[in-house]
Structure 1
Amino acid sequence: MSELRRTPLYPLYAAHESVRCIDFGGWDLPVSFSSIQKEHDAVRQQAGLFDVSHMGEVIVTGQFAEAFIQNLTTNDVSKLQDNQAQYSLMCYPDGGVVDDLLVYRLSADKFMLVINASNIDKDLEWMNQHLLGDVVLENISDQTALIALQGPNAETILSQVTSSELQGLTSFHFIPEATVCGVTALVSRTGYTGEDGFEIYVPAQDAAVIWDGLLLAGQEHGLIPAGLGARDTLRFEAKLPLYGQELSSTISPLEATVGFFVKLDKEAFIGREALLEQKTNGPRRKLVGIEMIDRGIPRSHYPVYADGQLIGEVTTGTQSPTLKRNLGLALINTEFSKIDTEIYVEIRDKQLKAKVVPAPFYKKNKK
């Protein structure tokens, strides 16, 4: 059995007596530092600090870098200006998803792609199969740490330890060389929790300085470290997809209801024909929000029924820490996707009543 990989921040976990780590795709990562509920509430109300250094980063350079990414991804990378980022997806020819990712434009001939940790090898193989012109790929994942600061107090906290002006940094923009806790880092403003937040990309050897500096600066603002458990419940409430659950090689972006990030009017890209046909005819399946009426919690892969037939399965489900309701996301036949449709979730060999409800379940208050 191979040894679990650890992030550059792993030695700092020991400072938290209640930390609980798990095997997450071959990585030894914290599911929680205190409790999932406490960390979830901190991000919704104050701020949370996440070590997401297991994520992959790939630098794409060359005169044909933009054309390469344009062919590879569903969103329109030509719309990006320097220091802008976008959410996108890579698809197979049949419309299934290779991975979802963030695209950062550093310059006209240099981009950074941020990909899911469990997909790094697969994604790189896929990218190398579709290289174009003078494009060069550099996998900098092992040399790069990634810290995410999320929550309504995130800007206040980060402003105390950076020399850069953060108020002018709008969503999906970044500062390529900010000074954070005396260290040079790329700082972006995207988020994966439904709250305001920042991502700090830094050389692995400098990660501890920023982690400790942020926790110190954030003490008076309610900042606490948060693990994968809260990250999952937060993104779930905001209906942000997780690869392997809401997205996969057998689930298309249109089925997962992230069609906004599929630009079918741009030039050809891998998967376009299949997605165009799906868009024209309507996807056969659709990701919907569900709420339990009978007592029970829907969990990933639980079967979903309606009119006596199997119509799909739960992709993610839990008792919402914010709303205290038993909620789920489910990929079901489109004909049953209308709000208030009565469905049944099989839990421990019993079909329990539920209904289709609007999602996302949570949206942050606008300032």
Structure 2
Amino acid sequence: MDSFIYASSPSRVIFGRGSITTLGEELKRLGKEKPLFVTTPRGTQTIPELEQILTTASLASAGVFGEATLHTPVEITAKALEYLHAVAPDCIVSFGGGSAVGLGKALSVRTGLPHVSVPTTYSGSEMTGSLGETRDGRKTTRSEAGIRPAVVIYDVDLTLSLPVATSATSGVNAIAHAVEALYAPDKNPIIEIIALEGIKALAAALPAIISSPADIEARSKALYGAWLCATCAGSTRMGLHHKLCHTLGGSFGLPHAETHTIVLPHSIAYNAPSVPDAMGKLTGVLPGSDGDAIRGLNLLLKKLKVKTGLKDFGMKEDDVPKAAEIAMTSPYANPREIELKSLTETIRRCWAGEEARVDL
């Protein structure tokens, strides 16, 4: 067996139906009593329920900032910081998907305030010490220990209202974290076990959610799988897939989870010849693979009835060469050398919505 280093995640995780009711207790455990809620405009509708939970625990919120948005633009963070200084909270509670979690991280790392995350999608940002921020049309990523939330509360009930389409794409986004962990330069056998279990859980649960959105067992399995996959993202370095998604989202304004969903089979196809061992293990947890992981991923996307072309979200074909050039700058660690010609063709296939295939 190869040598490896494994550092466990320091986050405290509360998982289960109704676990949101522990919010007040968790804040008290941290010695805090006056949180700032950070969420999206849609998420503000649920904040009164969270504030009632605080009231029951004899706590109260400092306020609500409800303008979190995709890709964590620095101008939104600046606006949120101004509000934070005005209301003077002693901690931050993010509620929602990756946009809310990202803003919560951005505020926490800038202020040193502890961050409690309440995710309502499967995308997984809450378990990582990384923060992607957008400035002047470019998305950059920073990683440090202080970015990771101190506590994560996974309440299955909060995912029941998650639209089917969003459930599908955020679930595939989670799978992407685990897939890249299988061949990351700092991979280890513990994370490999977690990654394969997470992928297996999501690959089984997501099609069931498409058929029956209120299926509690499927929702529970999906959230469990998302947590495991997010743990992988928080424990290893990501590669070409995440570089492409950060480029496409930050520079072209494409939606986060949908972009991950479209890019995943193509980025894996690009790397497949260089990681046969990882591809072999991946086939074992993707139903219908028949020995071909790319076939399994393509089949999963068909079951989930998701859009498979970036053109469906407004990207122009003329943007493909520019996207490739941006993705070539400051490349992430990757098992296969990144070549401009092959990368450009990979992005073109993502744009066109073609089925992924290993021939580059």
Provide TM-score, normalisation by structure 2. 0.28
Which entry has the higher C-alpha Rg, 1 or 2? 1
* Structure having the larger proportion of residues in helix: 2
Provide TM-score, normalisation by structure 1. 0.28
* Structure having the larger proportion of residues in strand: 1
The answer to which structure, 1 or 2, has the higher relative contact order (CA under 8 A, 6+ apart) is: 1
